[in-house]
Amino acid sequence: MKNACLSIMMKEANHIVEMMIMDNRRGLSLLFLVMFLVMAGFGIIIPVLPFYAETIGATPTQLGWLMAVYSLMQFLFAPMWGNLSDRYGRKPMLLVGIFGLALSFFLLAVATKLWMLFAARIIGGCLSAATMPAAMAYVADVTTEEDRGKGMGMIGAAVGLGFIFGPGIGGVFSKASLTAPFWMAGSLALLTALFVFVFLHESLPREKRANTQGKRPSLTAALRSPLARLYMLQLIVTFSLAGLEATFAYFAAERAGLSSTELGYIFMIMGLAGAIVQGGLLGKLIRSFGEGAVIRVGLFLSAVGFFLILFVHSFWTAALYLTIFGIGNGVIRPCVSALLTKHTTDGQGSATGVLSSFDSLGRIGGPAIAGWLFTLKSSLPYMSGIVLTFISFAVFQSFQRTMMQKDSAL
């Protein structure tokens, strides 16, 4: 009788586990779709915003500030939203972030003065900063440590695919009018928010939220934690990537005479290859070799890519070399996110919020420094990228040594 009861209990437990796994997979699939739609909407306005701002009277310097102020707001507000997601759940913060994007797109569409553009970007940066920390924390909630990197890779793939398709859609709608892409992006964001509200379940149970009450890690506190080297790694990697994105069009035009259309195809090839690796191969690589090995390989490919870019002379060499760099750079962020959520002693949202903040900081400084280096010599942004990649490798090695010493002490 006892054995029969035990057998029934074991079957029931296995059934519950299977249901939880299926539910988690469904949640990840829905989150993938959500992040794809969010980034597609964001990508829609990318090719249009410079021309739109110019019609309102923005100078190139003001356009640069218009781009930077968005990242600055995300740098300042991402840790706060991440902490709030630990206290109130991931779904409310996702809704705040997506509604914030929709509001900023609509405000851009009706802007008639330069200050209105800045106000829209500031509001969008403040509110949309909630999206990425909540999404990464959601992945951490619904995945095991073994599958964490695969889940983070899916989010990276969704972001990459969104940025591939978004600009093309924006270009098509801009033929009707320069405001049409903003109305389209805002409408898509609203529909995405409605989708989240109806279909995406909350991943953080109420009983787990109480454990993170009162924990408010700041950026300075993060730099004093054992995970500081992971944050610095993300900062350096994003800094070098943003610098490349800001200068490669000028470099490719100078070295290979490539047009803006050809550059669009090149970045599309790079993004598609990165999305395939992150969404399809990354999980298998992490299970076979671990996040640390994948990060080291990613840094190696990034350095090789930076070096090869110095020898660009045609469309196909540019596409190949940039894709090598893109694959290497693209696998680093999901692995860093996975390691961070495994080792953090704070809430998942707090940790991913700080990570997003450092990511935004890299996007603020990278284009400015790379642009200055490019004016000195066109190859300097990529030579400095090689140096920064080696620094990143040293930072990561230091992190792993620190974690090994901590584990041995325990």
Please list the alpha-helical segments (H only) found in 89-227: 90-109, 114-128, 131-142, 148-173, 180-199, 206-209, 219-224
- Report the distance separating Cα 336 and Cα 149, nearest Å: 9
The band of 225, judged by pLDDT with boundaries at 50, 70 and 90, is confident
Amino acid 15: pLDDT: 37
220, burial (CB in 10 Å: exposed 0-12, middle 13-18, buried 19+): exposed
* Mean pLDDT of all residues belonging to the chain: 86
Architecture of the domain defined by 7-204: Up-down Bundle (1.20)
Nearest to 239 by CA among 367, 381, 68, 340: 367
| Predicted confidence (pLDDT) at residue 80 exceeds the cutoff of 80 | yes
Phi/psi-derived region of residue 331, left when phi > 0, alpha when psi is between -120 and 50, beta in every other case: alpha
Amino acid 12: pLDDT: 38
Amino acid 5: pLDDT: 43
Which residue ranges make up each domain of the chain?
7-204, 222-410
The band of 114, judged by pLDDT with boundaries at 50, 70 and 90, is very high
Tokens of 179: 């405001």
Q: Angle formed by the axes of helices 315-343 and 348-376, to 10°?
A: 150
| Predicted confidence (pLDDT) at residue 257 exceeds the cutoff of 60 | yes
| Predicted confidence (pLDDT) at residue 245 exceeds the cutoff of 90 | no
Phi/psi-derived region of residue 290, left when phi > 0, alpha when psi is between -120 and 50, beta in every other case: left
- Report the distance separating Cα 221 and Cα 144, nearest Å: 27
Amino acid 10: pLDDT: 42
Nearest to 295 by CA among 174, 405, 398, 404: 398
378, burial (CB in 10 Å: exposed 0-12, middle 13-18, buried 19+): middle
The band of 218, judged by pLDDT with boundaries at 50, 70 and 90, is low
Amino acid 43: pLDDT: 86
Q: Does residue 97 contact residue 129 with C-beta atoms inside 8 Å?
A: yes
- Report the distance separating Cα 24 and Cα 19, nearest Å: 9
- Report the distance separating Cα 163 and Cα 265, nearest Å: 12
- Report the distance separating Cα 250 and Cα 257, nearest Å: 9
The band of 220, judged by pLDDT with boundaries at 50, 70 and 90, is confident
CA dist list (Å): 389 to 140, 231, 236, 282, 394: 27, 15, 8, 20, 9
Amino acid 409: pLDDT: 61
CATH code linked to domain 222-410: 1.20.1250.20
Tokens of 129: 């900063």
Amino acid 9: pLDDT: 37
Of 310 and 3, more confident: 310
**Full-model pTM:** 0.84
Amino acid 60: pLDDT: 73
On the question of a common fold for 7-204 and 222-410, the answer reads: yes
Classified as helix, coil or strand, 201 is coil
